[in-house]
Amino acid sequence: MKDEAKANPSILALIELKPADMMEAFCAEHPVTRDAEARDGIEVVLTSGARGLSGEEIDEFPDLRLIAVNGVGTDAVDLDTAVARGIHVTTTPDVLSEAVAELALGLAISVRRRIGEGERLLRSGGWSNGQKPRLGQALTGCRAGILGYGRIGRALADMLRALGVEVIYHARKPHDDAPEAWRPDARTLAAESDVLFVTLSATPETRYIVDAPVLEALGSEGTLVNVARGSVVDSAALAAALHGGTLGSAALDVFEVEPVAPDGAEDGLLRAPNTLFTPHIASATNEARRAMAELVIANIDAYLAGSPLPSPVTPA
């Protein structure tokens, strides 16, 4: 970081901070533009983990010095280009971990207990006409595997343990301070789990880490829950496993192609049985989004003041 404060550099906002009052306050105190055609003089770009900023886009901003990501994912940001240009990248870790873990837990309970299916049966009139809801599966008493043991994975492990669920995990290496047992790879983890939670970062190395063999290992009674990124699960293999009955159920908050549209690339998955889907809302609570917005603004203000960044990703 440079020591001197910045003299009113321009900020390009590619996304809106939530809740709305956070964006209003931010714009009132900062020189923000929403004009995506603006290039010269833009020192800060505000984006999201899903929107990111490609290398080609970075090259279009000659004065860019900070990419402030509202989220924890950086797979859509060209970090190599940013580092080569000396551009800082910040994210919003920690403040959304509880919200994402909470949704993962809710998805697991909901799909295994067939909550969505039961609601549709009630609303359609099927229940009143004599149709019986199908039996579900308990989460308590299960063994849960967590694929990815970062902040979100650890928060989820805490919640599961509080419910009396046995937890095992896979990460690149064992964590000495982890109360859970480590497994050396995704397939071994799946084979020993009733529910497999995916919470790891999306990188070239983790693309399709959940593939057909992993799904087969999870088995016909197993449940997959993905709150990470769509790219870490082979969607075609997942759809085939669900339609073929080699996987019991799946609940997803993220997809390879977003937003998902009927008759689109994910249509086979959308038509699969024993599934529950949400539209990438894991961090979408008022509390989490406000905390995220506050951290985004803190990173931008620190850059403008020439102070250390609260949550940098790239080297300072």
Residue 1's nearest CA partner among 301, 303, 299, 297 is 303
The verdict on whether 258 is a catalytic residue reads yes
User: Using the 8-state DSSP alphabet, how is residue 308 labeled?
Assistant: P
Tell me, what amino acid is at 69? V
Sheet holding 181-182, edge to edge: 181-182, 166-170, 143-147, 195-198, 223-226, 249-252, 275-277
Q: Check 24, 60, 119, 258 and give the catalytic one.
A: 258
DSSP 206: G
Q: Element (H or E) spanning 17, and its range?
A: none
Max CA separation in the chain (angstroms): 73
Nearest to 296 by CA among 124, 142, 66: 66
Per the residue annotation, which of 30, 154, 280, 289 is the catalytic one? Answer: 280
229 carries an active-site annotation:
yes
Note if 29 is an active site residue. Answer: no
CA dist 246 and 236 (Å) reads 13
* 224 sits in which H/E element: strand 223-226
- Looking from the CA of 226 toward its CB, the CA atoms found within 13 Å total 28
In the numeric block, the tokens 């917005």 are attached to 293
Spatial distance between the Cα atoms of 111 and 127, rounded to a whole number of angstroms: 19
Report how far residue 20's alpha carbon sits from residue 22's, in angstroms, rounded to the nearest whole number. Answer: 5
The answer to whether 211 touches 238, Cβ cutoff 8 Å, is no
Catalytic residue among 229, 256, 266, 289: 229
Residues carrying an active site annotation: 229, 258, 280
